[in-house]
Each structure stands twice: as structure tokens, then as C-alpha cells.
């Protein structure tokens, strides 16, 4: 029985070793799979981070000068106010000043355009709250409802994004007098 017991013990030990070897192999496979999962996750995170940084860099280039352009728009507004104030003057000196200011105004607009700034076309267009800010409504039976009659302040787009909305007067076909009379009759 000693031989048989020894053989049995040896077989049991071999079975235990084989089981431990299988468990170790399974653990190694699991560890390898876990490592691969972590590697793929980190690789995907890295790609996402690179894409996010590229988007942020692009936006910084496109819109990084937004604040200075807002300030320069105010300078353009001052030019426009000055031009409108002296437009009809008949004095020769004032006419020459007008021409000079107009040239500087155009040069300023051209420089701003190079940096992605575009004026919003508003006069005669249909009111769009995405691009226009209504400061008043005015009755007009000659214009369609919602058509822009006047532009009080030009709006601007910076790389197709609204930097400042145009401040406008919008046509209405309903007369205020008609509304008051309707209320009195009811």
C-alpha cells in the first residue's frame, strides 16, 4: 500500500499542481485582458484629449481676439456717428474731413474683415432674433410685417458667430390707433 499511497499522493500532487498551473494561467490571461482593456481605454482617452485640445486651439485662434474686436467695433461706431453728423455739410473743409474720415473708416473695416469680422446685413431684411435686436416697432403699410426699417447700430459676426446683434426698428402692419379703438369697443 505504500507504493499505492505514494502513487496516489503523487497523482494528487500532480493534479493540484496542474490545477494551480491552470489557475495561474487563467489569472495571467485575465491580467493580460485587464491590461489590454486599460491600454485601449487610455489610448481612446488620449485620442479624445488630443481632439479636445485641437478644438480648443482652433477656437482660441478663431475667437481669441473677440474682446479686442468688440472694443474696435466701438471705434467703428464712432466713425459712423461722425460721418452721419457731417454728411450733409456744404463747407469745403468739412467735406475734405468727411472724405478723410470715410477712408479711415473703410480701412478699419477692411482690417477687421481680415480677422473674421463681418457686418450683419439688416436693412430691408426679415427680422431674425438670432442676428437682430428690436429696439422699436414702427407702423408701415408699405413694408411687410417684421421687415427691418432702420438700423440704429450695426451688428457683427466673428467667424460666423454673432459678436454683437444689430439694433433695429421693425415694421408692424398693426396700427396702434386701431388697437386702442378695438379695446374701446369691447
- Regarding whether 80 and 111 lie in a shared domain, the answer is yes
- Regarding whether 43 and 24 lie in a shared domain, the answer is yes
**Count of Cβ atoms closer than 10 Å to residue 174 Cβ:** 11
The confidence band for 85, taking pLDDT boundaries of 50, 70 and 90, is very high
Going edge to edge, which strands form the sheet with 117-119?
117-119, 156-158, 161-164
**How many degrees, rounded to 5, is the angle at CA 98 between CA 95 and CA 99?**
90
> Which residues span the domain enclosing 57?
1-63
- Regarding whether 94 and 58 lie in a shared domain, the answer is no
| Whole-number average pLDDT of the chain | 85
- Regarding whether 152 and 123 lie in a shared domain, the answer is yes
Q: What digits encode the pLDDT tens for the residues 99-155?
A: 999 999 999 999 999 988 999 999 999 999 999 999 999 998 888 899 999 999 999
Per-residue pLDDT at 178 exceeds 80: no
Per-residue pLDDT at 23 exceeds 70: yes
- Regarding whether 82 and 46 lie in a shared domain, the answer is no
- Regarding whether 167 and 179 lie in a shared domain, the answer is yes
**Residue 133 pLDDT:** 95
**Residue 57 pLDDT:** 82
Q: Which helix (H) or strand (E) holds 154?
A: none
Helix axes 66-86, 92-114, angle to 10 degrees: 160
Model pTM? 0.62
Instruction: For residues 38-56, give the mean pLDDT.
Output: 88
- Regarding whether 104 and 75 lie in a shared domain, the answer is yes
- Regarding whether 143 and 99 lie in a shared domain, the answer is no
Per-residue pLDDT at 36 exceeds 70: yes
* Cβ neighbourhood burial of 154 (10 Å; 0-12, 13-18, 19+): buried
Strand 117-119 and strand 166-172: the pairing is: unpaired
**Residue 106 pLDDT:** 95
The confidence band for 96, taking pLDDT boundaries of 50, 70 and 90, is very high
* Count of structural domains, the chain: 3
**Residue 22 pLDDT:** 72
- Regarding whether 50 and 73 lie in a shared domain, the answer is no
Amino acid at each position: 500500500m505504500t507504493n499505492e499511497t505514494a502513487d496516489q499522493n503523487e497523482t494528487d500532487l500532480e493534479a493540484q499542481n496542474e490545477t494551480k498551473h491552470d489557475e495561474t494561467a487563467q489569472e495571467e490571461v485575465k491580467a493580460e485582458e485587464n491590461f489590454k482593456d486599460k491600454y485601449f481605454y487610455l489610448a481612446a482617452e488620449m485620442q479624445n484629449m488630443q481632439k479636445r485640445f485641437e478644438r480648443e486651439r482652433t477656437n482660441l485662434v478663431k475667437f481669441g481676439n473677440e474682446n479686442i474686436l468688440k472694443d474696435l467695433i466701438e471705434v467703428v461706431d464712432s466713425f459712423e456717428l461722425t460721418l452721419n453728423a457731417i454728411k450733409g455739410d456744404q463747407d469745403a473743409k468739412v467735406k475734405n474731413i468727411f472724405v478723410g474720415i470715410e477712408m479711415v473708416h473703410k480701412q478699419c473695416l477692411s482690417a477687421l474683415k481680415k480677422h473674421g469680422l463681418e457686418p450683419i446685413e439688416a436693412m430691408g431684411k426679415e427680422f431674425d432674433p438670432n442676428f437682430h435686436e428690436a429696439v422699436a416697432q414702427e407702423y408701415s403699410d408699405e413694408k411687410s410685417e417684421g421687415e427691418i426699417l432702420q438700423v440704429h447700430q450695426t451688428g457683427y459676426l466673428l467667424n460666423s458667430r454673432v459678436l454683437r446683434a444689430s439694433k433695429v426698428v421693425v415694421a408692424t402692419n398693426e396700427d396702434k390707433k386701431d388697437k386702442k379703438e378695438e379695446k374701446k369697443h369691447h
